[in-house]
Structure 1
Amino acid sequence: MPTDELAAWLRLLETPGIGRQRARRLLRAFGGPREIFEASPAAWREVLDGHKVCEALAQAPEGHDALVERTVQWLQQPDCHLLVLGDPAYPQPWMELADPPLVLHARGRLALLGVDALAIVGSRHPTPQGADNAFQFAAALSEAGMVVVSGLAQGIDGAAHEGALSGPSGTISIVGTGLDRVYPRQHHALAGRIATEGLMLSEHVLGTPPLAPHFPQRNRLIAGLGRGTLVVEAALQSGSLITARLAMECGREVFAIPGSIHSPQVKGCHKLIKEGAKLVETTQDILDELRWGTTTASAPRTGTAADQTPPDDTTPEDPLLTALGWTATTLDALQARTGQPTAELSIRLLELELSNQVVRLPGQLFQRQSSA
C-alpha cells in the first residue's frame, strides 16, 4: 500500500467523531480514503447531513504523522500486514457483519483466515477443570482441522490458544489493543507464539492501550469470524454471554459445556443451553452439528466435567472419588460422607492431587478432575 493511501486510511480511522459508520458512508460516497480528503467540506457535509464532525475532517488528528511513520516501520517487520475493507485478503465472514472493521492490523499466518474456525470463550477466572476443558477441546478441534479463535484474555482464552497451538491447525487471537502491545502482560510469551505460529488481529491502530470499551467491541469480531462459538465456563454476568449473543445475531452456532448446578462458573452456560445453545460433552458433538466433513468421524473425542464412563467398566472406582462426586466439596463434607478420619482423608486427597485426579480450590475445597 502506498504511504499516502496508508496515511489516508489511518486519518479516516482516527478522526475524532467519525467512527466506522460515518466512515463507511464517506467511503461509499467518494470511493476511497484519499478521495475523501480531496473532496470539499461542502461535499462532506452533504454526505454526513451537515454534521459538525466535518470540521474534524479538515485537519489531520494530533500525532498523525508519527502514527503513519510507526505503522510503516511496523509493516516492514516479517509477517506484519495491513488489510482494509474490500482487500482480497480481508476476512470474508466479517463482510457479513453490520459493523466490520475498516482497517485490520495482522501479524502472523494470513492463510489461517481462509480456514474454517470456531471461537472458544469463557471465564477469566476458570476452575482448573474449565481451563483443562478449554485446552483439550481446542487441541481436538485443531487436530480435526479447525482454527480456534479467541481473545487472548486470561483464563479460558489463554487455555484455548495453548490447546490450539498444540495441534496442527493453529489459532487466531483478536485483541483489543494495538498489535505492538500485549494485554494482559502475563500473555506476552503466548502472544509471541501466536504471532509466529498462528495469527494476531486488531482493528486498533498501533499504540492503542487496553481501554475498557474496546473489549466488548472486539467480541463481535470473535463471534463473527468462525462458524460458531463454544462457551466453556461463564457466570451469569459474563462478557462471554455477550459474545454468544452476538454469534446468534450473526447466524453462527452457539455451543456450551454444562457443569455442576451448584457452580456459579457455569450458570451462564446453563442459561445459554436453556435459550437454545447446543449442550456439548465432546468435540465430536460440535463437529457433528457443523457437519464437519467425512473425515471427522475419526476426530478425537474430548471429555468435559460431565461424568464419564471409565474405559474398563469392570474396574471399581476409588471410593473417595465416588464420595467426592463432581462438585467442589469441603473436607468436612467428605469426612461426613465417608466416615474416615480427617488425617487419613487429607493424605488420600494429596495422593489424588499428585495423580491429577483431584484439584484443590481456594477456600479449602476439593474438586474431581476429569481426563478431558
Structure 2
Amino acid sequence: MQQPISENQAAIITLWYLVQHSLSTYYKLTDFFGHARNAITPANIAKWPLLKIHSSHIKRANKLNDAETQKILNLIFQSINTHCDFICTIDDDLYPTMLQPYNDKPPILFGQGNTALLNDPSIAIIGSRKSSKLGEKNSYDFSYYFAEKGYVVISGLAEGIDQAAHYGAVSHQKTIAVMATGIDITYPKHHDNLRRQILKNSGTIITEFLPQTKPLQFNFPRRNRLVSGMSISVVVIEAGLHSGSLGTAKIAAEQGKDVFATPGYIHDPLYEGCHELIREGATLIFHPEQVIEDSH
C-alpha cells in the first residue's frame, strides 16, 4: 500500500483527470498558473478559455465540484490507494531522472513494486508481438545477460518479444514493465501471471495513465516513449516493417538514444523492420555485450 496521497499529488491527479491525459494542456495550465493546485481553483478555471484550452476540458473543469465528478475522482483515488505501491510526480526524488529532460514527460507515474529500479541504468528490449520462437529466445537471452550484468530491462508487457524480455530479466530481479493502461488493468489479460512474477521478483510496474484507463490504440505510442526515455539504449530484437517497435526506435533516436537491432534471414518478413533500422543507422548486433560496449 502506498503512502496517503498528499494535497499536491491530489491536485495533480485531479488536473490530469480534467485534461484526460493531455500533456500539452496539462503543461500549458501548470506553466501559466504555477502548479496544478492553482490551475483547479474556481477563479482560475474561469480563466482557462483565455489560454485556448479545448472546450471539452473546460466543460469538465466547470463541473469539478459537481457530485458526479467528485464521485469519479473518489473512485480514482480509491483505486490508486488499492492498487498502487507508490506514485511519483516530477518533483519527487523517486521520479526517473532519465525522463526529466523531455518536454513530454508525464507529470505523474503510478506504480507497483520496487522503486529502486526507477533510477538504475536500464536497457529497453522491444520487438514484434507476433514473434518467432528464435526471436523470443534471443529476447530472453539478451535480457538475461543484461540483468546478470546489473542492467534493468525495460519493456512494454506485450506479447512476443516484450514477454520474453521480462521473463529473461525476472530471475535477476531487474525488470520494469511500462503499461498502456491504468494500474488496475493488465493488458493482455493473460499476462496477469507475468505481472505477478515481475512483482514477486522485485520488479516494477509503472503507468502514466489513471486507473480504469483501457488499452486504447493511441496509448501505446505514449507508453513506448517512456520505454525508450527511461533507457540508455534500445534494442530491437525482431520486428516486421509494420511493427510498432519501429515507432519506438524512431522516438529513441529523437531522444538521442543508441538504437541497436539484431539481423535475421534476408527473406524473413519478421526481420524486415530490423534490417530497415540498420539501413537507417541502427547498430547491428549479434551479442548483448556489444550493446554494453557501444552504449553512451
Task: Calculate the TM-score normalised by the size of structure 2.
Answer: 0.90
Task: Specify the alignment match of 2:266 in structure 1.
Answer: 261
1:220 aligned to 2:221? no
Retained in 2: the 8 A contact 1:79–1:109? no
1:270 and 1:77 mapped to 2: Cα distance? 45
* Aligned residue identity for 1:44: W
2:225 and 2:252 mapped to 1: Cα distance? 8
Task: Specify the alignment match of 1:9 in structure 2.
Answer: 12
Task: Specify the alignment match of 1:154 in structure 2.
Answer: 159
Superposition deviation, residue 98 in structure 1: 2.7
Retained in 2: the 8 A contact 1:122–1:232? yes
2:131 and 2:242 mapped to 1: Cα distance? 14
Superposition deviation, residue 233 in structure 1: 0.4
1:166 aligned to 2:171? yes
* Aligned residue identity for 2:171: S
Task: Specify the alignment match of 1:28 in structure 2.
Answer: 31
Retained in 2: the 8 A contact 1:93–1:225? yes
Superposition deviation, residue 90 in structure 1: 1.1
Task: Specify the alignment match of 1:365 in structure 2.
Answer: none
**Candidates 87, 94, 107, aligned match of 1:89:** 94
In structure 2, do the counterparts of structure 1 residues 215 and 62 end up closer, same or farther at CA, with 3 Å as the change threshold? Answer: farther
CA offsets, 1:286-329, max 9 Å, x none? 111026xxxxxxxxxxxxxxxxxxxxxxxxxxxxxxxxxxxxxx
In structure 2, do the counterparts of structure 1 residues 7 and 121 end up closer, same or farther at CA, with 3 Å as the change threshold? Answer: same
* Aligned residue identity for 2:223: R
User: What's the secondary structure of 2:47's corresponding residue?
Assistant: helix
2:295 and 2:46 mapped to 1: Cα distance? 51
Superposition deviation, residue 195 in structure 1: 2.8
Superposition deviation, residue 74 in structure 1: 4.3
Retained in 2: the 8 A contact 1:178–1:206? yes
**Candidates 199, 203, 210, aligned match of 1:198:** 203
Task: Specify the alignment match of 1:353 in structure 2.
Answer: none
Q: Which structure exhibits the higher relative contact order, with contacts defined as CA atoms closer than 8 Å and separated by 6 or more residues?
A: 2
Retained in 2: the 8 A contact 1:67–1:206? no
User: What's the secondary structure of 1:40's corresponding residue?
Assistant: helix
Retained in 1: the 8 A contact 2:80–2:211? no
Tell me whether 273-282 or 55-64 shows the greater mean CA deviation: 55-64
1:126 and 1:51 mapped to 2: Cα distance? 41
In structure 2, do the counterparts of structure 1 residues 206 and 49 end up closer, same or farther at CA, with 3 Å as the change threshold? Answer: closer
Task: Specify the alignment match of 2:281 in structure 1.
Answer: 276
User: What's the secondary structure of 2:112's corresponding residue?
Assistant: strand
* Aligned residue identity for 2:165: A
Tell me whether 248-257 or 190-199 shows the greater mean CA deviation: 190-199
1:119 and 1:103 mapped to 2: Cα distance? 21
User: What's the secondary structure of 1:229's corresponding residue?
Assistant: strand
CA offsets, 1:164-190, max 9 Å, x none? 11224x100001111111111121111
User: What's the secondary structure of 2:100's corresponding residue?
Assistant: helix
2:288 and 2:149 mapped to 1: Cα distance? 9
User: What's the secondary structure of 1:99's corresponding residue?
Assistant: coil
In structure 2, do the counterparts of structure 1 residues 37 and 79 end up closer, same or farther at CA, with 3 Å as the change threshold? Answer: closer
CA offsets, 1:213-232, max 9 Å, x none? 11121111111110011000
1:50 and 1:166 mapped to 2: Cα distance? 47
Retained in 1: the 8 A contact 2:259–2:283? yes
In structure 2, do the counterparts of structure 1 residues 7 and 63 end up closer, same or farther at CA, with 3 Å as the change threshold? Answer: farther
CA offsets, 1:225-248, max 9 Å, x none? 100110000001110000000000
2:72 and 2:197 mapped to 1: Cα distance? 26
1:49 and 1:71 mapped to 2: Cα distance? 27
Aligned-residue identity in percent: 35
Q: Which runs of 5+ in 2 are unaligned?
A: none
2:229 and 2:53 mapped to 1: Cα distance? 33
Count of aligned residue pairs for this structure pair: 289
User: What's the secondary structure of 1:172's corresponding residue?
Assistant: strand
Q: Which has the larger radius of gyration?
A: 1
* Aligned residue identity for 2:35: G
Retained in 1: the 8 A contact 2:238–2:271? yes
In structure 2, do the counterparts of structure 1 residues 262 and 62 end up closer, same or farther at CA, with 3 Å as the change threshold? Answer: farther
Task: Specify the alignment match of 1:141 in structure 2.
Answer: 146
1:179 aligned to 2:194? no
2:215 and 2:93 mapped to 1: Cα distance? 29
Tell me whether 208-217 or 155-164 shows the greater mean CA deviation: 208-217
Task: Specify the alignment match of 1:362 in structure 2.
Answer: none
1:215 and 1:204 mapped to 2: Cα distance? 11
